Each structure stands twice: as C-alpha cells, then as structure tokens.
Amino acid sequence: MLPEHAPFTSDQRQALDSLLAGLDPVQRGWLSGFLAASGSHAPATPAPVAAGKLTVLYGTESGNSEVLADRTVKAAKKRGFQAAMKNMSEISPLDLAKVTNLLVIVSTWGDGEPPESAVTFYKDFMAADIALSNVRYSVCALGDTSYEKFCQIGKDMDAHLEGLGATRISAREDCDVDYEDAYASWLENSLSALAPTSAAPVVVAAPAVISTVEYGKKNPFPAEVIDSVVLNGEGTSKETLHLEFSLAASGLTYEPGDALAVLPVNAPDMVKAMLQAAKLTGNEEVEVKNVGRKLLADALREDYDITAISRVVLTKLAEAADSALLRELLADDAKERLKEFNTGREIIDAVLKFAPNGLSADALTGIFRKLPPRLYSIASSPLAHPDEVHLTVAAVRYESHGRARKGVCSTYLADLVKAGDPVQIFVQPNKNFRLPADGSTPIIMVGPGTGVAPFRAFVEHRAALGSSGKNWLFFGDQHYTYDFLYQLEWQDFLKDGVLSRLAVAFSRDQPEKVYVQDRMIQQAAELYQWLEEGAHFYVCGDANRMAHDVHEALISVVENQAGISRTAAEVYVEDLKKSKRYQRDVY
C-alpha cells in the first residue's frame, strides 16, 4: 500500500492501491519503466553501481530459455553488471571455474532430457569434478508439469553446482509452461542477492509513446483462417490437416525453421464430461487469475488445462477431495503404481476415481494449470506466401481405459475451426533450426509424417531465393496412395530442379516395414558424399523412436562409408552437431 505521506489525495491513494494490487510482477515492471520514460522533467538518476561480471548460461529447445536469458542480461546491465549470455553449446564445464556470478536458465523436454543443443555440455558437466567454490549461482528451470521428470535438467544442474562447491544465492525456480510470473520473481530475487544494495531495482523499460499494438506471446494475434484441408486420401487411418492463416496487419514475422504457437480452447464435450465428473452445472462463477470472474463452463473451455495429468495435479486433487486413497498413490514408495495409473489417463479419470462425491467449482479449478499454447513447426516460407503462415497438423484421436481421447489443439483445429474464424497465435523463433547462411550449401532433410512441415518451408524459401544448393528430402508415412503429404508440390519441385533428390518410405505398402532410416542406409554412399561436400543434415518429427533410429543410421552411414570405427563415427556426427551442420526439431 502507498504510505500516507505519499503526495496523493486519499481517493488517489485508494485508486492506486486497488490498481497495483491487481498487477503481476511483469506488469509492475512495465508500468515503472513507462512512468520513468515519460517523466520528461524528472531529474536524471545516477548510473547504477558497477556490480561485476555476470554469466547467463542457457540451454534451450524451443527458444524460451534463450529469450529469458536475453531479458536477464538486459535487466542485469541495468543493475550495473557486465553481463553476457552463453549458450551451453558454446561453453565447456571447465569454463565455469572462471565465472564468479552465474545464472542458469535451462529447459527440460521429453522424459527428463536436456535440450538438443545442450546435450554435450550437460553430460560433460554432470560427469565433471571441478572446484567451483568461487561461483555464486542460481538456476531457473523450465519444464512442463504434465511430464513425470518436471524440470529435471534444472534440478540436476542445481544440485551438481552445489556439490562442486558453488554457492546458491537464491532458490531454484521450477517453472511450468506458464512461466512469466515465476521467472520475474526468480530474476528479482537473484539479481537482488547478487547486486550491491545500492543498485537500481529491475525495471523493464517501456517507450514513452506506444503508437501501435504489438502482437506476441503476451498478446497473441487473432489470425483469420484462410484455408483448412485434409491432406490424406480416402481410405487412410490418418487425418493430417494443412492450415493457412493470415498475418495481415499483425506485424508478425518468421523465418523457415520457426514454430507457430496456437492457443486452443477445450472441446465442448470435454468440458461437459469434466462438469459431470465434478457434479457441477457450469453456471457457477469462479475467479480466473489475471482475467476476473467467469462462468465455470467458460473458464474450463478457455482458461484451464483440463486433460494433462501429473503428480502436481494429483497432489492438489488429493487435498481438494481429501482422498486417503490418492495420498497413498502419491507416496514415495508408490512411484511405479503412480506411473502406471497416469499412463493413458487424463484428469477426468482421477476426478471420477478419487472425488466420487464431486468438487466445488473453486476446488475443481484449483487443481488445474493454465491452458498452454501448442507449438507447431511452420510449413511455409514468408517469401513464397507473404502475410501468411501455414501449418501441417495431425489430428490426434485414440481410446484408452475405455474412454475416447483426443489432442486438445489438433482437434480444436480439425473440428472447431473453419475458414474465416480467428485463431490466437504467436511466433516462437527457433534459432537452432535454420537454413545455411550460404545458399550454395547442400542440405539433407529427414521428415516423415508431419515432420515434413519445416522442409516444405525450407524448399519454398530456397526456391524463392534462387539458391543453388542441392536439396535432398527423405519422407515417409504409411501408404503412398493415402499419405504422401504434399505429393504434387514435391513432384513440381523435382521437375523444376529445386528438389535434387526425393527418397520415400511407405511402411505399410509391402509385407516388411520400410522407414526413412532404411532409405538412408540404402543410399549411404551418396549421403556420405553430400556430407563430405559440406551438406547440412536436418531431422524433424517424433523424438521417441524416429529421431533415435535416424541418428543411429547416420552413425552407421559414416562408419561404413568412411571405413572408421563406431567411436570415430560418433565423433564425426558429434562434430556435425557442434558446427551446426546437424540440427533436429523433434517432439
């Protein structure tokens, strides 16, 4: 609250107190910067006290950690630090011994895996035995509570830094997909702990005059759907959509390799089922953070993740339902039983089982997290489609434990969205998945199924630029007749000479299964020749099996064609990664 001696009337103080109480840390920082920037007659503030050197180390998969690292550096410089950011791919663990102040921002993806660009650093660091007693540090971990090993990489690095003698100056922050508030709190706590007390507080400066609306993660753009068509032929078991969105008047830009974030809503039948499970009507009112009062049915549709089950959700449900049975399942000695229960189930299953008498509206919404956006690899070049962005999306539908399931965002796009409708989007840059700067460099692209999306963008972009580099695509799916995504486009690119080679693998068109990695082995000699000519190698798609199998095939190609040992071939492939000639966009 404002002190009574503040230069405002009683009514002004009351109004300001009411306003400030409803702002989150990011909004407070923005307002502070705006007022500072607009005070043209205010006396100049002294430069902040020099606070020493600061290294902001980040490991990123989708780009979020890099964005936050950049924001951290800017905020630290305002506090007087000589701050610099370092990608984990550009540093070795031994370099940390030379650091005094260290802030780590790192994401976890998949089953507790480090980001692609940070794999080598993470493995070397966790095996390192170096003295870091002179290092003061804090860790901001990014993750997703729907995964069992939530923020595992950040937790591992935090513990190992402490084990090597480094001094933790503020507690690790484990951030879910809605990370803004948690990050802002961690940043303020960390810089306050590191900086001299006389240093200026963290301020996110704003321009004195804002003339246009800026769209992005904090303010998604309502993009009009231009077109939505199913790419698969009749008779397929798949449902793959090609979607086109208008970016006219958005100010949004992107490059091939970037992702598009889509903010979905939950399907009406999913909302209805959750209300029935909780024994509620949907007409109850609830308070939604940063939104206000809403009808429960609307909040469940628009604001909350009502499907993804996790230990965090179940812990909240155990308290809300006062379920001894669920507390037993959450006990430390029941981890395997909990994992078995969560497999193939969603939150509704837990509500039905552990809250048989229902829940109040506030108790129900209290177990959910914010509905997160979904990221999709962009399937278009901005040069080929000005003011448009395209996606390739597979609608997810399946059954488990006697209940029909469906992907929240993919079926939102498939079932609830039609041409002319607005869809909330923003661009998520991915600097770790980029075309070579030199257009004459050959590229090899491996993208089965919807993994072909970014390679449509790559080939379109190179065609628009008139790049001379050779382009080789490996594509695979189930059936040639039904599932050859963008078949006519690839054939036109082949005819025009833009696409130099096309290798396809349709797994169900013959008795034996054939996959893209099999085609790589069959065409090993030429593939290795392209690599020796300097080709960049790209993989997009499923991380669990395909990306692993393609990686193994690549090592095998190098081993056999170069006539070297398995170990030497692994070093060769690792060198491709380090030189950014081997890039993956896997999920």
- Residue-wise pLDDT for 11-47, tens only, equals 555 555 555 555 554 454 445 444 444 443 434 344 4
What's the whole-number mean pLDDT along residues 432-441? 96
Per-residue confidence (pLDDT) for residue 587, from 0 to 100: 87
User: Measured between alpha carbons, how far is 286 from 293 in angstroms, rounded to an integer?
Assistant: 6
Q: Using CA atoms in the order 399, 400, 401, 403, what is the torsion angle rounded to 10 degrees? A: -30
Q: Are 89 and 121 in contact (CB under 8 A)?
A: yes
Task: Return the CATH fold of 221-264+373-428.
Answer: Elongation Factor Tu (Ef-tu); domain 3 (2.40.30)
Per-residue confidence (pLDDT) for residue 29, from 0 to 100: 44
Per-residue confidence (pLDDT) for residue 12, from 0 to 100: 56
User: Measured between alpha carbons, how far is 423 from 244 in angstroms, rounded to an integer?
Assistant: 11
Q: Could you report how far apart the first and last alpha carbons of the chain are, in Å?
A: 46
Per-residue confidence (pLDDT) for residue 14, from 0 to 100: 58
Residue boundaries of the structural domains of the chain? 52-194, 221-264+373-428, 268-370, 443-586
Q: Which CATH class is domain 443-586?
A: alpha beta
Percent of the chain residues past pLDDT 90, beyond the cut? 80
DSSP sequence for 390-459: EEEEEPPEEEETTEEEE-HHHHIIIII--TT-EEEEEEE--TTS---SSTTS-EEEE--GGGGHHHHHHH
Which CATH number is 268-370's, of 1.20.990.10, 2.70.160.11, 1.10.520.20, 3.40.50.980? 1.20.990.10
User: Measured between alpha carbons, how far is 543 from 83 in angstroms, rounded to an integer?
Assistant: 35
Q: How far is CA 269 from the centre of its chain?
A: 27
pLDDT at 325 over 70: yes
- Mean pLDDT lowest for which of 58-72, 423-437, 529-543? 58-72
* Cβ atoms within 10 Å of 229's Cβ, excluding its own: 10
Same fold, 52-194 and 443-586: yes
Query: Over the chain, what is the mean pLDDT?
Result: 90
Per-residue confidence (pLDDT) for residue 21, from 0 to 100: 55
Tokens of 75: 């905020």
3-state DSSP assignment of residue 488: helix
Taken as a whole, the chain contains a residue count of: 587
Specify the pTM. Answer: 0.82
Per-residue confidence (pLDDT) for residue 213, from 0 to 100: 78
Tokens of 421: 């409708």
Look up tokens 């399931």; give the residue: 405
Q: Are 139 and 133 in contact (CB under 8 A)?
A: no
193-245 residue pLDDT tens: 997 544 444 444 444 343 357 899 989 999 999 999 999 998 899 999 999 99
Domain 52-194 has CATH 3.40.50.360: yes
In 164-307, which residue ranges form alpha helices assigned H by DSSP?
A: 180-194, 268-278, 296-302
Q: Are 469 and 392 in contact (CB under 8 A)?
A: no
Phi, psi (rounded to 5 degrees) for 120: -65, -45
Per-residue confidence (pLDDT) for residue 235, from 0 to 100: 87
Phi, psi (rounded to 5 degrees) for 502: -135, 115
Q: How far is CA 171 from CA 137, 140, 145, 189, 283, in A?
A: 9, 9, 19, 9, 41
User: Measured between alpha carbons, how far is 516 from 508 in angstroms, rounded to an integer?
Assistant: 13
What's the whole-number mean pLDDT along residues 492-510? 97
DSSP state of 32: H
Going by C-alpha positions, the residue among 257, 573, 571, 258 that lies closest to residue 445 is 257
